[in-house]
Structure 1
Amino acid sequence: MNTKSDDAVDPTTAAKNADPGSSSRSGRPTLDLRFVTRMSRELGDAVAAAASRDGLTSGAWVRRLLMERVALQSPVDARSRRPGTLPSEEVVAISTAVRELASVNAAISLKDSPAARAGLDRARGLLIPILMRHAGR
């Protein structure tokens, strides 16, 4: 008696036979290999926290770390992330910086160079820390 179901797929065989350029029905390249690993709850929680800080899923965060380690360039692997998930404090800082830039525009219109320069400094002070946190993505 065969214990495997007829439609079950052996992951090892599937990985060997997988087309490296496989894509979804929409024609976009897809991630076609599932890699499962076991880890302690502590490590899993640390990975989840680091991924959340970077606005990524845990899987995307680990993929990026692995690509850095093996020096691989893979747009398909690098692309996956949670779009538009910025921490609320960053959203507040960005909106404040945009308001500062509006004040810079007003200062330029009034030919008030010191106020324009001060507004640019405040906007830079808000945006540069955010950009530095996201630079490695």
Structure 2
Amino acid sequence: MEKPAIEVIPACDGAHLYQSPTETVLPEAPPRGPQKTAGLDLRFVTRMSRDLGTAVAEAARADGLTAGAWVRRLIMERLALRSSLDHRSGRPVHRPAEDTVALVAALRELVFVGNAVSCRDVPAAKASLTTVREFLLPLVARGPAR
């Protein structure tokens, strides 16, 4: 007796569904919940006063880091250690909405710069670059987060 043919159906996410005449076998689902960052497998918990915790959070925010990343970097500096794995942050600190609006406006203005350059309109390109600079310089001067 001949075995039924199995049809491989590509899915939109690059996985494959295997379908026989009697059943469909779904690929294994990805794990749910928060995923550990590869290599950062040790958790160190410490207690501190609310004032110290607030000061750490504010300093971290000023540097554009999470509190955990800021403390990791401080410890590495104190111990004179270098580790690119420990140096990176797991979660970015987000910019305020008005910073995002300014970034979008600067990007939009860069389109005008490109158009002016392609049309060889140097005065328009310079004017658009000045506008881009007006959007970006305050963001750079202020830092990644307030």
Bin for the TM-score computed over the shorter chain: 0.5 to 0.7
CA distance in 1, matches of 2:36, 2:50: 37
**TM value normalised by structure 1:** 0.62
Structure number with bigger Rg: 2
In the TM superposition, residue 128 of structure 1 has moved relative to its aligned partner by 4.1
CA distance in 2, matches of 1:89, 1:32: 37
Cα RMSD of the aligned pairs, angstroms, is: 2.8
| Contact preservation (8 Å) 2:57, 2:67 | yes
**TM value normalised by structure 2:** 0.59
Structure 1 match to 2:38:
28
1:1-41 deviation line (CA, Å, top 9, x unaligned):
xxxxxxxxxxxxxxxxxxxxxxxx989212425152x4332
Q: 2:124 aligns with which of 115, 131, 137?
A: 115
CA distance in 2, matches of 1:127, 1:69: 34
Gaps of 5+ in 1: 1-24
Structure 1 match to 2:135:
126
1:72 is the counterpart of 2:89: no
Q: Which has the higher contact order (CA 8 A, sep 6+)?
A: 2
CA distance in 1, matches of 2:57, 2:129: 36
CA distance in 2, matches of 1:127, 1:71: 34
Instruction: Looking at secondary structure, tell me which structure has more helix per residue.
Output: 1
Gaps of 5+ in 2: 1-34
* Partner-residue secondary structure (3-state), 2:69: helix
- Name the count of aligned residue pairs: 109
Instruction: Looking at secondary structure, tell me which structure has more strand per residue.
Output: 2
